[in-house]
Amino acid sequence: MKVIISETKEELGQRAGIFAAEIIRNTIKEQGFANIILATGTSQFETLQQLVSEEHIDWSRTTIFHLDEYIGMSDNHPASFRKYLKDRFLSQIGPVAAAYLINGEGDVGKEIDFLNNTIKAHAIDLALVGVGENGHLAFNDPPADFDTEDPYLLVNLDEPCRYQQMGEGWFSSLDEVPLQAISMSVKQIMKSRHIICSVPDERKAIAVRNSLESDVSNLFPASILQEHPHCTFFLDKASSGLLLEKELWN
């Protein structure tokens, strides 16, 4: 695991996006295609903005999955992660080989079965992820399930997670935040060859410290990333502010 600390979230996003682009280009050069996982939310704004601006990526050779989506949410809702990816990523690049966007409407069990069968046929080369204020990885809130082999699962969203979604401006009240979501599992994320974890902002500082300096525990779901051989955390000055061993990073 590697940690790269930038002064600002803008610099963080630039460095993370450039690094992601390099991995994607090299993977396509080596094997002719790349399978990637994208994260959403405010923590990914700068990283995805940089990634879509990168040149010489043959997006037509990429297959895209993403981490999570709310149950019962239309892709016209401002908080929909399908909408997020369509607006902020897919509409900004050329055609892709395939994009499997999670549909939380309709028959949830059928959707999960489809996603599970589909991603099992794709070895993931790169996953872009973030860390929640409660330390969650995707929507795997603490105590997270580290054991399930299912790639996607139905999860209940805890109150701190739901408050974060409201606090980021996606919803005007807590009552509007859905109680459940379809989330990629921790084990599926960990199967990725490379992981880039972008975490800006002071409000994530406690979660960052727990993820990097606590023992691996499902009470701090993102701490599992310590065990990944090719995971890079991109932090800014604010999100790294509570690290006790900052001199060991960067």
Mean pLDDT of 137-143: 97
Provide the pLDDT confidence category of residue 209 given band limits of 50, 70 and 90: very high
In terms of C-beta distances under 8 Å and separation of at least 24 residues, what long-range contacts does 143-150 make, across chains too? 143/218, 143/219, 144/186, 144/218, 144/221, 144/224, 145/185, 145/186, 145/218, 146/186, 146/187, 146/218, 146/224, 147/187, 148/185, 148/186, 148/187, 149/185, 149/187, 150/112, 150/116, 150/185, 150/188
Q: 168-172, 190-194, 221-225: lowest mean pLDDT where?
A: 168-172
Question: Judging by DSSP bridges, how do beta strands 126-129 and 152-156 pair with one another?
Answer: unpaired
Provide the pLDDT confidence category of residue 246 given band limits of 50, 70 and 90: low
Nearest by Cα to 204 from 129, 132, 128: 132
- Does the structural domain 2-248 have CATH classification 3.40.50.1360? yes
What tens digit of pLDDT does each residue of 33-78 get? Answer: 999 999 999 999 999 999 999 999 999 999 999 999 999 999 999 9
- What pLDDT does residue 244 have? 85
- What pLDDT does residue 250 have? 55
* Domain spans, the chain: 2-248
